Amino acid sequence: MSRLIADGLTKEFGDTVALEDVSFEIPDGEFVVVLGVSGSGKSTLLRCLNGLTEPTSGAVRLDGESVTEPREDVAMIFQQHNIIDNMSAFSNALTGALHRSRYVESVLQLHASEEKYRALDALDTVGLLEEAQQKARRMSGGQQQRVGIARALVQRPNVLLADEPVASLDPGSAQQVMRYLRTAASDRDLTALISLHQVNLARKFGQRFIGLRDGRKVFDGYREEFTMDVIDEIYGDVDTEGMFARTDGDGGADKGRTRPSSDRSATGERTPAVGASEGADP
Ligand SMILES: Nc1ncnc2c1ncn2[C@@H]1O[C@H](COP(=O)(O)OP(=O)(O)OP(=O)(O)O)[C@@H](O)[C@H]1O
């Protein structure tokens, strides 16, 4: 668990201001969804938080320490999960431990049994223990992304960042991956920040929401404050109809564009247990 702070983050690429004076503080163990139209600065924000992109001004702090480069305790999951097709789910997950291996060990794939256990445990967390020996190329997009999550977990992070992890998946797989992500973060007390396009998925799995528009933070709040007016403020004139992707595999309640409930008991508490807002285990 770790406390993550963005303090006045601004990032300029030439004349483009990708982020403008973005500040927030995320307490230990919170599950935050970042929303915004394409180009609003979501990826730039996540890359700054991970130390992959240096902000033009402002700073990122994790438990009081400046984040200026990628760190072992901050894992990042990308839309393109970059797992290795030719390797099994287990071997892919194990690569999350590479930074702890010496060069010779990693070349010879000599992993300590503790790391192997960790890889199996991570695959179990994402529901792929029985597929551990399956080659990644034989897995579906959703399964491959779950292997990517397992690999991130093997890194033993305190903070989990995911940049549109379900953007290329069909609605059912996207929901499943989000559910595993939420479970993984909850089980391991990770502080998590996930960028998403789909508003319904955000509502279903998010605990706190940060909205970006033209690089500026236009919303930062919890479920009961995340209203249709807020969604309109984040998305402006962009038609959000298509972003309310169907999220219930069983054809349940979240179909279509519906007004978010402001009823806490219906939407779950600020710190709901995984699945508390949806009533389902992975
Ligand atoms: N390396 C870069 N060089 C130049 N401009 C960039 C770079 N990275 C991002 N930008 C610009 O910064 C702005 C924010 O981009 P960013 O990728 O952070 O948005 P996003 O919300 O993640 O978009 P998407 O949802 O399409 O991934 C955009 O105008 C983009 O063109």
C-beta of 36 in contact with ligand 1 (< 6 A): yes
Nearest CA to ligand 1 atom 13: 18
C-beta of 198 in contact with ligand 1 (< 6 A): no
Please report, for the chain, how many H helices and E strands are present, in that order.
9, 10
ipTM of the assembly? 0.97
| Residues whose CB falls within 8 Å of the CB of residue 266, separated by 6 or more in sequence, listed in order | none
Neighbouring CB atoms inside 10 A of 230's CB total 17
Give just the sign of the alpha carbon dihedral 79, 81, 85, 89: negative
- Residue with tokens 């480069």, as numbered in its chain: 69
The domain limits of the chain are 1-73+159-282, 83-156
Give the pLDDT of residue 254.
Answer: 36
C-alpha–C-alpha distance, residues 162 and 78, integer Å:
6
C-alpha–C-alpha distance, residues 50 and 37, integer Å:
21
Q: How far is the CA of 19 from the centre of ligand 1 (A)?
A: 9
C-beta of 117 in contact with ligand 1 (< 6 A): no
Indicate the angle between helix axes 113-125 and 171-187, nearest 10 degrees.
130
Q: How far is the CA of 45 from the centre of ligand 1 (A)?
A: 10
Which two three-digit tokens encode residue 79? Answer: 């839309």
pTM listed for this prediction: 0.83
Supply the CATH classification number for the domain 1-73+159-282.
Answer: 3.40.50.300
C-beta of 80 in contact with ligand 1 (< 6 A): no
- Proportion of the chain in helix, strand, coil states, percent, rounded to 5: 35, 20, 40
* Nearest Cα to Cα of residue 152 among 184, 128, 179: 184
Which two three-digit tokens encode residue 210? Answer: 């940060």
| Residues whose CB falls within 8 Å of the CB of residue 269, separated by 6 or more in sequence, listed in order | 276
Which two three-digit tokens encode residue 214? Answer: 């033209």
What is the mean pLDDT of each successive set of 10 residues along the chain, which is 282 residues long? 89 96 96 95 96 96 93 88 88 80 53 82 94 94 93 94 92 93 93 93 95 96 92 79 49 35 32 35 33
